[in-house]
Amino acid sequence: MLRKLDIHNYAIIDSLEIFFPGSLSIITGETGAGKSILMGALSLILGERADSSVLQNREKKCVVEGFFTVDGKSAVKQFIEENELDNEAELVIRREIAVNGKSRAFINDTPATLQQLKELASLLVDLHQQFDTLEIGDSDFQREVLDALAANNDLLGEYQHAYRKWQQQLAELRKLQAEKDSFQKEADYHQFIFNELDQLQLADNELEDLENELKLLENAEGIKTSLTKVFFELKESEQPIIPQLKQLANQLVGYADYHPALPAIVERLYSAQLELQDIADELDGVNDHINFDQERVDQVNDRLSAGYKLLKKHGVQTTKQLIEIRDEISSKLQAVLNIDDTILEKQQQVETLHQSCTTLAENLSQRRQEQTPSFEENVNRLLAQVGMPNARLKVQIAPSALHAFGADAIEFLFDANKSNRFEPIRKVASGGELSRLMLCIKSLVAESMDLPTLIFDEIDTGISGEAAKQVGVIMKELATARQVICITHQPQIAGKANAHFFVYKQIKNDSITTNIKQLTQDERITAIAQMLSGEKPTAAALENAREMVMN
């Protein structure tokens, strides 16, 4: 509910503070007094664009604030949580326009974008102006009306849960089918690559090991020559090193007791002699195992040549990478064999979910169609009540492919003159007819839909007398469970108000400004009498106005 509206420095409004009660608030005033300016200021906090031309005083900013109570509105609570806003008992929306035309928006003192403002405002206020046909012509709104009357909320939630699962599984199925097509296109190539890699039967690190082996084989003669020479010098030359070390150590043994350093030196000589003995034996063993083998060289070269070719072909550097490529292609080839089974299983899941969605959608459609006759009858009755006896509404429900809200294409059709030429509402041009039609529809679904604050801006243009009275009656009934604010020129509607506000102009500091006040009972009677008979109302007009207010 809109509890308070504060407006500062907007158009010819210097400063206004309006407290709105619940139920039905009526705003009246002379033409040009500033009623449309009030709606313009309100539209700022509803997310409409603005510029510096709205500033009355070019030296200070324009500020419009709306204070809302939102008890029980789960959609508003969800919006606040999703946008990480402060969850206060009262929701405050503020719009500021600086002198340079720059605009800023705030929700509970937190900066917000215009898109956020529009989204939140749509949950709080439904501003319906003459020629505003967008909502009533919107297929989502039309469906929501039928679903509200049919109490489809739980069933629709169940359907949408199944629909989302069906769409998810269908997307996975299409992905699998695309993968299969891709696999099949590349299957021959993948099989060729796999055969080429698998035929080589590479072992871990094999190419690197073969490179080392080839180096050894190619240098076998040089290595054997060096090994033989070293072994010869150590053990078999005319003066071999190993026996000489032993002799040198023996020469020092007899003098070891005469100097403290000699025992250690003798020990080290013996150790060196033993170490060299071990080295000589190992060199001899290595030498026995190194032989130049041309056949093996050829085998290694052939193997390396095949390996190098694959390394180059696949743009990799190691045996490990080639093995990984082989295993990856093997997995793809195996996937080709398995994917048909996977696709069949997925198709069965998709079909089961599709059937579930179809059944739920049929239930939704049936319940919507059951509501259609009484809805059409009630709307047409109300249309006659508000001065449109020749107008007819017709609901067209046609089957469609499954979508997020079922399998219905819903269209409200309208005939203003009993011509039996029904056309979609969005193509109908009469703003007055559409405004009253919207009022009739919303009055029927008010108990079923969580409607926000309803604001009607001069939707009663072109009607008077009994029709205007009936519009007032419908608004009064609509306001029993929600806040309704209406700007009107019709005394019959003004007489139904719970709170009557009067917009007027006044001279302040040599400039004309717009002001507003809530009328007392006697002031209401006088204002309504003036609406009936002019600035100086007659006694009959006053009596008529009193009867309107009292009744």
Domain end position, chosen among 297, 317, 338: 338
Tell whether 116 and 21 lie within a shared domain. yes
Note whether 9 and 22 are within 8 A (CB): no
Specify if 261 maps to a domain. Answer: yes
Kindly compute the dihedral angle of the four CA atoms of residues 9, 12, 14, 19, in this order, to the nearest 10 degrees. -100
Sign of CA dihedral 35, 41, 47, 48: positive
444, 315: one domain: no
In this structure, the answer to whether residues 225 and 327 fall within a common structural domain is: yes
Specify the pTM: 0.64
**Both 127 and 181 in a single domain?**
no
Q: Do 181 and 323 fall into the same domain?
A: yes
Domain end position, chosen among 338, 371, 403? 338
For CA atoms 220, 223, 226, 228, give the dihedral sign: negative
Cβ–Cβ under 8 Å, residues 56 and 14: yes
Kindly state whether residue 26 falls inside one of the protein's structural domains: yes
The radius of gyration computed from the CA coordinates of the chain, to the nearest angstrom, equals 47
With respect to residue 10, please indicate whether it lies within any of the assigned structural domains: yes
218-227 exposure pattern, b = at least 16 Cβ within 10 A, e = fewer: eebeebbeeb
Instruction: Give the domain range for residue 470.
Output: 1-132+434-519
Task: Tell me which of 318, 338, 358 is where a domain ends.
Answer: 338
Tokens of 469: 């009275």
Q: Are residues 106 and 229 in the same domain?
A: no
Contact 423, 413 (CB under 8 A): yes
Amino acid at 373: P
E-strand ranges in 109-226 read 110-112, 125-129
Read off the CATH number of the domain in which 444 is found. Answer: 3.40.50.300
Instruction: Please tell me whether residues 184 and 322 are part of one structural domain.
Output: yes
Structural domains of the chain, count? 2
Residue 380: exposed, middle, or buried by beta-carbon count in 10 A (0-12, 13-18, 19+)?
middle
Please give the pLDDT value at position 87: 77
Pair 317, 206 in one domain: yes
**CB proximity list for 471: less than 8 A, separation 6 or greater:** 386, 387, 436, 439, 460, 463, 490, 492, 493
Tell me the helices (H) and strands (E) count for the chain, helix number first: 16, 15
232 in any annotated domain: yes
Asked if residue 199 is part of any domain, the answer here is: yes
DSSP string, 167-184: HHHHHHHHHHHHHHHHHH
**DSSP string for residues in 397-421:** EEEEEEETTEEEEEEEEEESSS-S-
Q: Residue 504's beta-bridge partner residues?
A: 515
Q: Tell me if 409 is assigned to some domain.
A: no
Domain contains 458: yes
What is d(CA 465, CA 449) in angstroms, rounded to the nearest whole number? 30
Q: What does the alpha-carbon distance between residue 482 and residue 126 come to, in Å, rounded to a whole number?
A: 12
Q: Which of 305, 298, 297 is nearest to 200 (CA)?
A: 305
Same domain, 272 and 127: no
On whether the CB atoms of residues 528 and 549 are closer than 8 A, the answer is: yes
Are 192 and 329 contained in the same domain? yes
- b/e map of 516-526 (b: 16 or more CB within 10 Å)? beebeeeebbb
pLDDT at 133: 46
Per the rule left: phi > 0, alpha: psi between -120 and 50, beta: everything else, 183 is alpha
DSSP 8-state secondary structure symbol assigned to residue 538 = -
What pLDDT is recorded for position 130? Answer: 53
pLDDT 10s digits, 442-491? 888 877 777 788 888 877 777 778 888 888 888 898 888 888 999 888 89
Low-confidence ranges of the chain (pLDDT < 50): 131, 133-134, 429
Q: Is there a single domain that holds both residue 114 and residue 191?
A: no
Beta-sheet pairing, 24-29 with 484-487: parallel
Same domain, 181 and 305: yes
456 inside domain: yes
Strands 453-457 and 484-487: parallel
Residue 113 is given by DSSP the state -
